[in-house]
Amino acid sequence: MKLFLNEPFASRWAGRDPFAEAFAITGDTYRDMGDRRTTRFAFDGGAYFVKTHAGVGVGEILKNLLYLRIPVLGAENEYRAIARLKALGVDTMTAVAFGRRGWNPADEQSFLITRALEPTEPLDEYCNPAVLAAMGVAERRALVTRLAHISRTLHDNGVNHRDYYLCHFLLDTSPEYAAVPVSARPIYVIDLHRVQIRRRTPRRWRHKDLAALYYSARRVGFDRRDLCCFIRAYKQQPLRRALDQGANFWRSVEREAERLYDKGVRKGYHQ
């Protein structure tokens, strides 16, 4: 068994079964996948999110292995990912409680509690063509450069997200930042339960992350000039050199983004 409790949970749950307490939490349910549930709740004057994992079952494990995917078995992967991003200086959630128990991966229990990041707004909701135009070229490029820096920091340090869409970048909209440019505000990377951590990020996983990011960025109004700005910042090279050395890679990223867009149209996610 693994257990980490910070305040106020360490004191309030003293002498109790923390797993029973975590699984009994009620509040606003944001996602319920049967074996995995995400709930926002209030506790001791603060706002938090709890993710509970009740075990994925043997069938789900075998299905993932059949497709050569590493199954996400519980909350520990996200707990480790939060620690890794914080060590890299990337803004993300703050874990205040975590637990895992059970020897069988198919039915282990785990939970993760993080502080609610509020007030924030996902970048895919904050950004639209009108907002991007109002930013002006300099600020728009600064925001793109910021996203490129976050992406490079993750990928160069062996981290890939696997759901790397703008909806998983939360912009801090606290009143104290009202007069601060968007590019200079905290931007939190969230939804880390599928993150992979290695010594080095393979090319295919960089590709998947970047294609997902470009797809979601195009949907809200970013364009090819923004892509060029992103490439310069991500590669930390003049654009011509970056394209000379990786033209096939970036063309492939763009094609994959177009495929994701077409898939979204077919499934009715957007027009």
Taking the C-alpha atoms of residue 222 and residue 217, their distance in angstroms, rounded to an integer, is 5
261, 271 in Cβ contact below 8 A? no
Ramachandran bin of 82, using left for φ above 0, alpha for ψ from -120 to 50, beta for the remaining angles:
alpha
State the pTM of this model.
Answer: 0.94
More confident call, 98 vs 271: 98
pLDDT at 19 over 80: yes
What is the pLDDT at residue 59? 54
Rounded-to-10 torsion of CA 204, 205, 206, 211: 90
Confirm if 166 and 122 have CB atoms less than 8 A apart: yes
Per annotation, catalytic residue among 163, 191, 223, 226: 163
Judging by beta carbons within 10 Å of its beta carbon (0-12, 13-18, 19+), is residue 194 exposed, middle or buried? middle
d(CA 125, CA 170): 10
* pLDDT, tens only, 129-167: 999 999 999 999 999 999 999 999 999 999 999 999 999
pLDDT band, residue 72 (cuts 50/70/90): low
**239, containing H or E segment:** helix 239-266
pLDDT range class, residue 88, cuts 50, 70, 90: very high
**For helices 137-156 and 224-235, angle between their N-to-C axes, nearest 10 degrees:** 40
The predicted pLDDT at position 35 comes to 80
Per the CB < 8 A criterion, the answer to whether 122 and 34 are in contact is: no
What are the pLDDT digits (tens) for 211-237? 999 999 999 999 999 999 999 999 999
Residue 73 above 80 pLDDT? no
Q: What is the mean pLDDT of residues 174-198?
A: 96
Taking the C-alpha atoms of residue 146 and residue 157, their distance in angstroms, rounded to an integer, is 17
CB atoms within 10 A of CB 48: 21
- Per-residue pLDDT reduced to its tens digit, 21-61: 999 999 999 999 878 899 999 999 999 999 999 865 555 55
What integer pLDDT is reported at residue 265 of this predicted model?
A: 83
Q: Name the pLDDT band for 107 (thresholds 50, 70, 90).
A: confident
Q: What are phi and psi of 237, to 5 degrees?
A: -145, 160
The CA–CA distances, whole Å, from 39 to 29, 207, 212, 223 equal: 4, 32, 26, 36
Identity at 93, one-letter amino acid code:
M
Domains of the chain: 2-115 (3.30.200), 120-266 (1.10.510)
pLDDT at residue number 68? 56
Exposed, middle or buried, 139 (CB in 10 Å: 0-12/13-18/19+)? middle
The helix/strand/coil state of 190 is coil
191 catalytic residue (yes or no): no
Euclidean distance between CA atoms 98 and 41, whole angstroms:
16
